[in-house]
Amino acid sequence: MPAGRRSGSEGGVVKHRFDPSGPLRGTIAAPADKSLSHRAALLAAMASDPVRVTGYLDAADTNSTLAAVQALGALVERGEVLTIRGTGLRAAAPAAAAIDVGNAGTLMRLLPGWLAGQPAGSWTLDGDASIRRRPVDRIAEPLRRMGAQIEAREGRFAPFTVTGSSLEAIEYPLPVASAQIKSCVLLAGLLAVGETTVIEPEPSRDHTERLLLRCGVTVSRDGPRISVCPQDELELRDLHVPGDPSSAAFHVAAAVLVPGSRIVVEGMAANWTRVGFLRILERMGAVLVGELEPAGAPLSPDEPVTELDVAHGPLAGTTVDAAEVPLAIDELPLVALLGCFAEGETIVRGAEELRVKETDRIATVVDGLRGLGADIEATADGFVVQGTGGLRGGTIASHGDHRLAMLGAVAGLASREGVEVDGIEAAAVSYPGFEADLASLGGR
Binding test (CB under 6 A) with ligand S3P, winner from 143, 308, 329, 336:
329
Write each residue from 67 to 86 as x if it is in contact with ligand S3P (CB under 6 A), else as -, in one continuous string. Answer: --------------------
User: Are the C-beta atoms of residues 371 and 396 closer than 8 Å to each other?
Assistant: yes
37 binds ligand S3P (CB under 6 A): no
Burial class, 300, CB count within 10 angstroms (exposed 0-12 / middle 13-18 / buried 19+): middle
Query: How near is the Cβ of 88 to ligand S3P at its closest, in Å?
Result: 24
Burial class, 203, CB count within 10 angstroms (exposed 0-12 / middle 13-18 / buried 19+): buried
205 binds ligand S3P (CB under 6 A): yes
Write each residue from 93 to 132 as x if it is in contact with ligand S3P (CB under 6 A), else as -, in one continuous string. Answer: -------------x--------------------------
Candidate list 33, 126, 128, 330, residue with the active-site label: 330
Q: Which DSSP letter does residue 32 get?
A: B
87 phi and psi angles, rounded to 5 deg? -95, -15
425 binds ligand S3P (CB under 6 A): no
Q: How far apart are CA 146 and CA 3, in angstroms?
A: 51
Query: How near is the Cβ of 65 to ligand S3P at its closest, in Å?
Result: 11
Binding test (CB under 6 A) with ligand S3P, winner from 19, 28, 30, 35:
35
Query: How near is the Cβ of 72 to ligand S3P at its closest, in Å?
Result: 19
The alpha carbon dihedral of 326, 150, 209, 215 has a sign of positive
- DSSP line for 70-109: HHTT-EEE-SSEEEEE---TT-PPPPSS-EE-TT-HHHHH
Paired with 15 in beta bridges are 8, 422
Cα dihedral value 36, 226, 185, 37, nearest 10: 0
Burial class, 68, CB count within 10 angstroms (exposed 0-12 / middle 13-18 / buried 19+): buried
Instruction: Closer to ligand S3P by CB, 247 or 306: give it.
Output: 247
165 binds ligand S3P (CB under 6 A): no
Binding test (CB under 6 A) with ligand S3P, winner from 19, 293, 331, 353:
353
Indicate if 381 belongs to the active site: no
Binding segment for ligand S3P (CB under 6 A), chosen from 148-156, 172-180, 258-266, 433-441, is: 172-180
Residues 173, 176, 182: CA angle, nearest 5 degrees: 60
Q: How far apart are CA 335 and CA 170, in angstroms?
A: 37
Query: How near is the Cβ of 336 to ligand S3P at its closest, in Å?
Result: 16
178 binds ligand S3P (CB under 6 A): yes
Query: How near is the Cβ of 180 to ligand S3P at its closest, in Å?
Result: 4
Task: Name the pairing type of β-strands 196-199 and 225-228.
Answer: antiparallel
- DSSP line for 298-319: PP-SS--EEEEEEE----B--E
Q: How far apart are CA 391 and CA 424, in angstroms?
A: 20
Query: How near is the Cβ of 345 to ligand S3P at its closest, in Å?
Result: 25
Binding segment for ligand S3P (CB under 6 A), chosen from 52-60, 112-120, 177-185, 230-238, is: 177-185
Binding segment for ligand S3P (CB under 6 A), chosen from 157-165, 175-183, 296-304, 314-322, is: 175-183
Query: How near is the Cβ of 353 to ligand S3P at its closest, in Å?
Result: 5
Q: Helix 137-146 to helix 179-189 angle, to the nearest 10 degrees?
A: 20
Applying CB under 6 A, the site for ligand S3P has a residue count of 11
Instruction: Closer to ligand S3P by CB, 329 or 365: give it.
Output: 329
Instruction: Closer to ligand S3P by CB, 21 or 35: give it.
Output: 35
61 binds ligand S3P (CB under 6 A): no
Binding segment for ligand S3P (CB under 6 A), chosen from 174-182, 280-288, 307-315, 413-421, is: 174-182
Catalytic site residues? 330
| Residues within the interface to ligand S3P (CB under 6 A) | 35, 106, 178-180, 183, 204-205, 329-330, 353
